[in-house]
Amino acid sequence: ATPTALMVGTGRGAQLGIVIKGPQILESTRRVDTIVLDKTGTVTTGRMTLTVAQPVSGVSEKDLLRLAGAAESGSEHPIAAAIVAGARYRLGSLPALESFTSEQGLGVQAVVEGQLVLVGRPRWLAENWSIDLPAELTTALVAFEEQGQTAVAVAWDGQPRGVLAVSDVVKATSADAIKQFHKLGLRPVLLTGDNARVAQSVAAEIGISDVRAEVLPAEKAEIIRSLQRDGQVVAMVGDGVNDAVALATADLGIAMGTGTDVAIEASDLTLIRSDLLAAADAIRLSRRTLATIK
């Protein structure tokens, strides 16, 4: 009876838009008691929009958008996509990139019009490049973050030139999914590389109290391991390249169907609808399927 029940389980899973790598996954799914959620692209849509371009005095908004937009045209990060789209919308075309490198979870550095342009976490600019924002821009940046918007700093020629804010949208089903996780006895944790104020704002909106923010991509897996050391059986839901190691480390890795191939390959289970309600369905289904077998 066991193989039949498992096949029924996986067949029903396919109907719900859940693809699992094999029936053995049902067992770890059943034992999960903690669910770690990546923010961008998992809890939120990850389709970001540029909302504000605020230059320092003496710099025009056009110059800020032109140089930051061109620098970000080398990156595939959702923040970069928002900045490039916003800059193109206002300016038409953007200058060519002369060279480009990105630092995962930190920002980009590029040469545009002969200038070294940096766009990224304010702390990365401060600690790696000794470029500090003037006080009025820090105040503006904190205000954006408190509203749940991600703000990045822009510099060129060794000087701070402005901040850009991008907004993301929490998926309509995320808050409901968190309620269901609680009902299933799961402890939700929000995990993100983004700023703590932004993360807190999103967490408050959906009902999560355990927030781990400003976590570098390489540190995400370490957070999973520390929860496991505390005796927790951990599911991790993510979509990005920067989530892959954490997804593979978790007892159950769950990828969003809209996620990167790397995230999907590192996972045990994929949610075709890219909707956290499907993660709750998967856990409920595996518990029922295994109850049928016993």
Q: Does 240 bind Mg ion (CB under 5 A)?
A: yes
Of 120, 148, 253, 259, the one binding ligand ADP by CB under 6 A: 120
CA distance 18 to 271: 5
CA–CA gap between residue 130 and residue 124 (Å, rounded): 9
108 binds ligand ADP (CB under 6 A): yes
Q: What's the min distance (Å) between Cβ of 1 and ligand ADP? A: 43
Is residue 217 at the binding interface for ligand ADP, with CB under 6 A as the rule?
yes
Judged by CB under 6 A, how many residues of this single chain contact ligand ADP? 24
78 touching Mg ion, by CB under 5 A: no
Among 39, 66, 161, 171, binds ligand ADP (CB under 6 A): 39
Question: β-strands 150-156, 115-120: how paired?
Answer: antiparallel
Specify whether the CB–CB gap between 74 and 228 falls below 8 A.
no
Choice from 38, 145, 268, 281 touching Mg ion (CB under 5 A)? 38
What is the closest distance, in whole angstroms, from the C-beta atom of residue 275 to ligand ADP in the complex? 18
Nearer to Mg ion, 234 or 246 (CB): 246
The answer to whether residue 38 is catalytic is yes
239 binds, options ligand ADP, Mg ion, none, Cβ within 5 to 8 A by partner type: Mg ion
CB of 249 to ligand ADP, least distance (A): 15
Applying CB under 6 A, the span of 49-57, 118-126, 154-162, 244-252 interacting with ligand ADP comes to: 118-126
Binding site for ligand ADP (CB under 6 A): 38-40, 72, 75, 77, 79-80, 102, 105-108, 119-121, 150, 152, 192-194, 217, 240, 242
